[in-house]
């Protein structure tokens, strides 16, 4: 059975928890309770992206892998993410159960890692005659969305849950040295990074294999191995700044930010000054948290000096909640 959960918590006071379950390749059942809404109908959709750079607006359009028009959940011609409306009572609370065959929790069209959005107005199900009816159902603004990732696995190591951002996640259970660890599925593609390769004895200062491979590894060392398989890379040129976080075991990038991207350079006076470096650190930290990465290591390359702009990027990451361990010779 596949299971997922979305935790809504908007600045407008809308809160709720939504659960997703799927038996094999069968239909997905959505159950939940959402409070803080005005009475009446509210559009309820799965959107294509898990991006929260610009709040709910950056979650993209309705999830629509088949390129169809907007419609009702029972229509053949509909977006996969069209889940219709939820009914809110006079107390501002909606309790609902929805079954749908187009929102699987696995496979190429999985909704795991995508955003769930509650809209301000009713969804006209594509039949309202409005110019937006066949695109969005004319459901109005986005009053609440799932914005980030909520990881039970992260809480095992004593993190403050209040600081974590909610998100749709899928629990994957694995055993490591007698411990049960829950790791989230990330829409960036790094799944179950808590694996056996990061549980081997290391001298973490230089990331070298221990001279005694049978040496007992303390719980504290194992925690470092679990939480620090990510490395930070910073590139500074005369024209732009870029930084990335890479999963050391799989060599997959989990977060990338650069001042050459259109959305970033549009709001910067310069693409390579200190404020630009600070902005890259902030953006990279937000994207890292979306991938449930809160810790990384950084060792300057031979030609790099840990000062000036490089230090500004690393310090900005630290200021925005990423624990960067810096190894200097």
For the chain, helix, strand, coil in percent to 5 are 15, 30, 50
Q: What is the DSSP string of 202-220?
A: EETTTTEE-SSTTSPPPHH
Asked if 3 and 170 touch (Cβ cutoff 8 Å), the reply is yes
192 CB burial (10 A radius; 0-12, 13-18, 19+) = middle
Helix (H) or strand (E) holding 17: strand 15-22
Asked if 287 and 255 touch (Cβ cutoff 8 Å), the reply is yes
DSSP state of 196: G
CA distances from 329 to 224, 294, 299 (A): 20, 24, 9
Residue 325: closest CA among 235, 236, 245: 245
* Distance, CA of 228 to CA of 308 (rounded, Å): 25
Known catalytic residues? Answer: 45, 47, 62, 70, 79, 82, 119, 142
* Distance, CA of 125 to CA of 197 (rounded, Å): 49
Between CA 256 and CA 260, with CA 257 as vertex, the angle to 5 degrees is 130
Q: Strand, helix or coil at 43? A: strand
Cα 237 from chain centre: 29
Q: Strand, helix or coil at 294? A: coil
Query: How many other CB atoms are there within 10 angstroms of residue 267's CB atom?
Result: 7
């Amino acid at each position: 059975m596949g299971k997922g959960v979305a935790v809504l918590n908007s600045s407008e006071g809308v809160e709720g928890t939504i659960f997703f379950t799927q038996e094999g390749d069968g239909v997905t059942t959505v159950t939940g309770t959402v409070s803080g809404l005005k009475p009446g109908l509210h559009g309820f959709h799965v959107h294509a992206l898990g991006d929260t750079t610009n709040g709910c607006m950056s979650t993209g359009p309705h999830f629509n892998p088949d390129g169809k028009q907007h419609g009702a959940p029972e229509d053949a011609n509909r977006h996969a993410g069209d889940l219709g409306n939820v009914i809110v009572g006079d107390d501002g609370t909606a309790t609902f159960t929805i079954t749908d065959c187009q929102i699987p929790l696995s496979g190429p069209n999985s909704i795991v890692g995508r955003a769930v959005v509650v809209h301000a107005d009713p969804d006209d199900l594509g039949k309202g005659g409005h110019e937006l009816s066949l695109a969005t159902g004319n459901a109005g603004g986005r009053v609440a969305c799932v914005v980030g990732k909520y990881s039970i696995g992260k809480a095992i190591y004593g993190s403050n849950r209040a600081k974590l951002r909610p998100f749709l996640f899928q629990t994957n259970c694995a055993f490591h040295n007698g411990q049960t660890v829950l790791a989230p599925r990330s829409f960036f593609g790094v799944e179950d990074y808590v694996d056996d390769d990061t549980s081997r004895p290391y001298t973490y200062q230089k990331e070298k294999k221990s001279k005694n491979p049978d040496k007992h590894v303390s719980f504290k060392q194992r925690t470092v191995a679990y939480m620090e398989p990510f490395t930070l890379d910073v590139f500074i040129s005369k024209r732009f700044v870029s930084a990335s976080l890479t999963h050391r075991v799989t060599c997959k990038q989990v977060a990338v930010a650069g001042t050459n991207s259109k959305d970033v350079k549009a709001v910067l006076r310069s693409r390579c000054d200190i404020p630009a470096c600070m902005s890259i650190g902030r953006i990279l930290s937000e994207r890292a948290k979306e991938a449930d990465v809160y810790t990384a290591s950084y060792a300057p390359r031979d030609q790099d000096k840990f000062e000036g702009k490089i230090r500004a990027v690393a310090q900005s990451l630290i200021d925005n909640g990423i624990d960067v361990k810096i190894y200097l010779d």
